[in-house]
Chain A
Amino acid sequence: MEVLLNDFSPGLFVVQTILLLGLILLLVKFAWKPILNSLNERESGILDALASAEKARADIQNLQADNEKMLQVARTEREAMLKEAREIKDKMISDSKELAKVEGDKMLKQAQAAIESEKKAAVADIKNQVAELSVAIAEKVIKEELSSNEKQLKLVDSMLSDIKLN
């Protein structure tokens, strides 16, 4: 202990204190403050960059999900539209078929009616013509029958013979 105390140099202690104080002040001003500040700045910069990268990734993921969703929607929409179109097509086809059938039936009926009426008219015409022809024939026959007095008398006689006096 005595040796240690003897070795202790107060002068060196004072010099060391002054030099260390100066060194601390100078280093703090010219080295540690700027170094630590820029380290902190850099670290916060790195953290910010990481956070923004994370955010960008999340954004991209969101975007991708949105795209996927939109794509899905578009796909279902397209399918729906296609389905609808197909249905419309089928409906149109069936509708027009129906319509054509109805129309055809109608036309057929009309045609049948027309044919029927034509037939009736023709039959009536034929009847008329037959009647006229028969009348004309009868006229001619009668004219023939009654062309001479003899014949007229003969007819009267025959008729009279037919008529039996009851």
Chain B
Amino acid sequence: MTNFAQNFKQQNFEKEIMKKVSKTLKTVALLFILCFSLQGFASSDKDQNPAVDTKEEVDAYILHHIKDAHDFHLFSYTASNGERNHIGFPLPVIVWTNNGLATFMSSAFHHDDEGEVVVERNGSRLVKLHSKIYELEAGASKVELDEANHATNAHKVLDFSITKSVMGILFVGLFMLIVFSALARQYTNKKVPTGFGRVLEPLVIYVRDEIALPNIGEKKYRKFTGYLLTVFFFIWILNLLGLTPFGFNVTGQLAVTAALAIFTLVIYTVSGNKDYWMHMLWMPGVPVLIRPVLAIIELAGAFIIKPFSLLVRLFANISAGHIVVMSLIAIMFTLKKSLGVVGATGLSLVLAFFITLIEVLVAFLQAYIFTMLSALFIGMAVAEHDHDHAHDVKGHDVPDAEDVRGDFI
């Protein structure tokens, strides 16, 4: 009997081990396939993008990194036989050319960024020049550049590619959908979330209580909280993602920050109430002659300055952060001669470490500022200025919370 039990136990144990082994094998196989595919992509390209050593190369590399990319590039190395290999994977290119839609994988460009490799699709000749895809004019077989490095015989195409930034956006969007809908589902059967939800819940409450509620006001904050929460987490996670070695620079793309700012602009323009338009177009309480001047200033403020400040602040902060971190890392090469290998590397590590810490703070801060200002602008648009005031005995207005908030705005 005991023998049988032992046997049984052993069998179970073996089964367990088998399961684990098969799982591990699967993972290893997946990694293997992935590596091979990366390698496959990598090994086809040689002698493009040489090693980055000099100051000019560092500058070019940083500027290149700040831009969007059509490949997902992880790292490069020089093999023992002197070949330069790049590890990463291609991303789909979707462009609207003169001859219609053209789609292909970015590996067709073979890592070329100087407009040398010409890809022919649907009768259009496409080249990639400084992270942009150009279509050559009819008859041209090679891109020609003027002194300022502008293409003279090619024009930019409308590029809907799944670039690195789009991938980052998709990744973060998917991540947010998964974790926050999981948090939402948790509430169906328990009052207090557990696990990761316990981390997310205070953040959601923070955005609601510290950003949406005080800036928009008790009455109307609920309608805009969804947008503010989405934008806050979107920017924050993308900012943090930008600090990882994957090198996403999504919130450092003007197009992305512009889209975000225009969302805020549309929201506060659409939801602006009568008072808001009244104060903007025909300011009460000032001489009539000054009103049109004020209206011009107010209109410029609402439609140009506010969204512009939003989009430039986020773009500039994140881009600057990337540039500074990468420049500090580049100290390793640029100051190697004057400080020696150990000195340059040490200095670079220490400085890069502290700047990265600050960047973690900036990542949150910029998300907070963008969301806060969006909430503030929305709050200004929906604020009620001329509501019934409470009067005290002598007939003076008694300031209530709404008035104080109005003054503050």
Contacts and interface: CB of A to CB of B under 8 A. Distances in A.
Interface in B144-168: 158-161, 163, 165-166
Given A9-B159, A31-B184, A36 B132 contact: no
From B184, B192, B225, B260, residue with most partner A Cβ within 10 Å = B184
Interface residues on B, range: 35 or more
Given A8-B254, A8-B255, A17-B259, A32 B230 contact: yes
A28 B259 contact: no
B20 interface: no
Interface string A16-59: 11011111101110111111101100100100000000000000
B165 A12 contact: yes
Contacts of A31: 176-177, 180-181, 183-184
A13 B161 contact: no
B176 A27 contact: yes
Contacts of A22: 173
B225 A36 contact: yes
A24 B227 contact: yes
A50 to B, nearest CB: 15
A122 interface: no
A150 interface: no
B205 interface: yes
Nearest to B157: A11
A34 B204 CA distance: 12
Contacts of A26: 177
Contacts of A39: 201, 204-205, 208
Contacts, number: 126
Contact of B259 (A20, A35, A36): A20
Given A19-B169, A36-B222, A12 B159 contact: yes
Contact of A27 (B170, B230, B254): B230
Given A11-B161, A16-B169, A24-B227, A35 B184 contact: yes
Interface string B281-324: 00000000000000000000000000000000000000000000
A162 interface: no
A10 B230 CA distance: 22
A28 B226 contact: yes
B226 A24 contact: yes
Contacts of A34: 184-185, 187-188
Interface in A59-116: none
Contact of A10 (B158, B185, B188, B205): B158
B260 A20 contact: yes
A24 B230 contact: yes
Given A20-B234, A34-B187, A12 B253 contact: yes
Contacts of B169: 15-16, 19-20
A10 B191 CA distance: 45
A31 B263 CA distance: 20
Contacts of B67: 7
Contacts of B108: none
A45 to B, nearest CB: 8
A160 interface: no
A90 B349 CA distance: 105
B256 interface: yes
Contacts of A20: 169, 230, 234, 259-260, 263
A20 B181 CA distance: 17
A23 B160 CA distance: 18
B82 to A, nearest CB: 34
B347 interface: no
A14 interface: yes
Nearest to B158: A11
Contacts of B161: 11
Given A12-B256, A13-B258, A27-B180, 11 more contacts: A11-B158, A16-B165, A16-B255, A17-B259, A19-B166, A19-B170, A27-B176, A27-B229, A33-B184, A35-B204, A39-B205
5 contacts: A16-B253, A17-B262, A22-B173, A27-B176, A45-B191
Interface of A: 4, 6-17, 19-24, 26-28, 30-36, 38-39, 42, 45
Interface of B: 67-68, 95-96, 132, 158-161, 163, 165-166, 169-170, 173, 176-177, 180-181, 183-185, 187-188, 191-192, 201, 204-205, 208, 222, 225-227, 229-230, 234, 253-256, 258-260, 262-263
Which 5 interchain pairs have the tightest Cβ spacing?
A: A31-B180, A38-B187, A11-B159, A13-B255, A28-B226
